[in-house]
Amino acid sequence: MIPVLIVLNAGSSSLKFQVFDLQDGEEPRLVWKGLYEGLGGSAHFLVKDTNSALLDEMTWGSGDRFGHEEALIHLVSWLSQFKDDRKPVAIGHRVVHGGEAFSSPVLVDEAIIKKLETLVPLAPLHQPHNLEPIRIVRRRLPGMPQVACFDTAFHQTQSDIASLFALPREMRESGVRRYGFHGLSYDYIASVLKDYDPRLKEGRVIVAHLGNGASLCAFKDGVSIATTMGFSALDGLPMGTRCGAIDAGVVFFMLREMKLSPEAAERMLYTKSGLLGVSGLSNDMRVLRTNAGTNADAKRAIDLFVYRITREIGSLVAALGGLDGLVFTAGIGENDVATRAEVIAGLAWAGLTLDAAANSAGGPRISTGSGPTAWVIPTNEELVIARQTRSVLGAAQARLAS
């Protein structure tokens, strides 16, 4: 029997999953990955093997009332058909917010769920969806160990000053501070830097996680010392549909002068802004690149994205006191040759020089010369969840055995 871990990443209408084999002393090994989308409406399931070959798919009509609970039950029964001699031994969950209490992954019990629920106001659009499958599994598979892995935890190494807003002290005491996100992605990059260049592990490195969500993180000696996202995942860089950092006065203007409700203002900032809002066309970088030659607003959206990344990198170089390496990752960072070239062109002052041929080829190293190096490194958040889940499980089993 091969023990397997299930890694879950739940959204409002989607459930992404990956299944990892666990063998003693080895890195968890991905065997299948898939997703349910359109949950609560017309749901669709698909699962692929590690060569991206489709293994199975299924669609449900909107009358089927197929939601997260039905998806989890379906997944477990699908696994029982396909698992050969495999047996799920634990489930690892991506949980966006660990607040101040959780600086590392944790084995979930009733008390932990209650604590995680108190963090919902800090991430109202994500945390409830992350917690729902945890509750469903506790109800439907009560003996199954579950581990919560946090997007905020990687940033707990930041100094008090780096995480402080210039607000009255009672705000800090209420938990209003910079937390930072994309920590599972940064954790993965930190774990593989040495394989690309051993000097980066101890160096001053900026990682640009540029996907539909986007942020930058400054690493010193492999740990986070500053990041562009703050209290919420709205802060920092413009993103696919999120605005990134804006003057807080804009929110008062929206509420007071434009008479928007808080919910409508929130919706605008989270879902109608960023690349989509500026271009009026799309949140998808591929669509914007295709249209930038003929559509001035598509070009403006890309130009603003690149300008803000370059400016924020300048700020993080100051926080680090210099720069040894720059890493691009996530959908845009890993795939968009032009974004990487434009960002590096804007960083000539920091000594970065693009290797255009290597950049077109996708790296991994895309810089030349003796200055800071630039890299393309694919991220793997699910593997970090699998690693963390195994390590928490191992520690719990060791406690039981002693």
Binding-site ranges for ligand AMP (CB under 6 A) = 211-212, 240, 284-286, 330-332, 335-336
> In whole angstroms, how close is the CB of 236 to ligand AMP at the nearest point?
15
Find the DSSP H helices in 38-168. Answer: 68-82, 110-117, 127-140
Q: How many CB atoms lie within 10 A of CB 225?
A: 18
Question: Which is closer to ligand AMP, CB of 82 or CB of 270?
Answer: 270
Asked if 381 contacts 17 with a C-beta cutoff of 8 angstroms, the reply is no
Give the CA-trace dihedral at 333, 336, 342, 347, to 10 degrees.
Answer: 20
Question: Which is closer to ligand AMP, CB of 106 or CB of 302?
Answer: 302
Among candidates 164, 22, 23, which has minimal Cα distance to 100? Answer: 164
> In whole angstroms, how close is the CB of 181 to ligand AMP at the nearest point?
13
Question: Which is closer to ligand AMP, CB of 285 or CB of 392?
Answer: 285
| Distances, alpha carbon 112 to alpha carbons 102, 258, 392, in Å | 10, 41, 14
> In whole angstroms, how close is the CB of 182 to ligand AMP at the nearest point?
10
Can you read off the two tokens belonging to residue 200? 């980066």
> In whole angstroms, how close is the CB of 331 to ligand AMP at the nearest point?
2
> In whole angstroms, how close is the CB of 286 to ligand AMP at the nearest point?
4
> In whole angstroms, how close is the CB of 240 to ligand AMP at the nearest point?
6
Which position among 85, 151, 187, 297 bears the catalytic label?
Answer: 151
For the chain, the maximum distance between any two Cα atoms, rounded to a whole number of angstroms, is 68
- Rounded (10°) angle between helices 68-82 and 127-140: 60
What per-residue string of b and e applies to 17-38 under the rule 16 or more CB within 10 Å gives b? bbbbbbeeeeebebbbbbbbbe
> In whole angstroms, how close is the CB of 271 to ligand AMP at the nearest point?
15
Question: Which is closer to ligand AMP, CB of 196 or CB of 305?
Answer: 305
Question: Which is closer to ligand AMP, CB of 86 or CB of 94?
Answer: 94
Question: Which is closer to ligand AMP, CB of 184 or CB of 285?
Answer: 285
Give the CA-trace dihedral at 195, 198, 201, 206, to 10 degrees.
Answer: -80
Question: Which is closer to ligand AMP, CB of 212 or CB of 368?
Answer: 212
Closest residue to ligand AMP, Cβ-based?
A: 331
Say how far apart CA 393 and CA 373 lie, in whole Å. Answer: 38
The pair phi, psi for residue 294, each rounded to 5°, is -115, -15
Which strands, in side-by-side order, build the sheet including 214-220?
223-227, 214-220, 204-210, 325-329, 373-376
Catalytic residue list contains 151: yes
Q: Are strands 214-220 and 223-227 parallel, antiparallel or unpaired?
A: antiparallel
Q: Which residues are catalytic?
A: 151
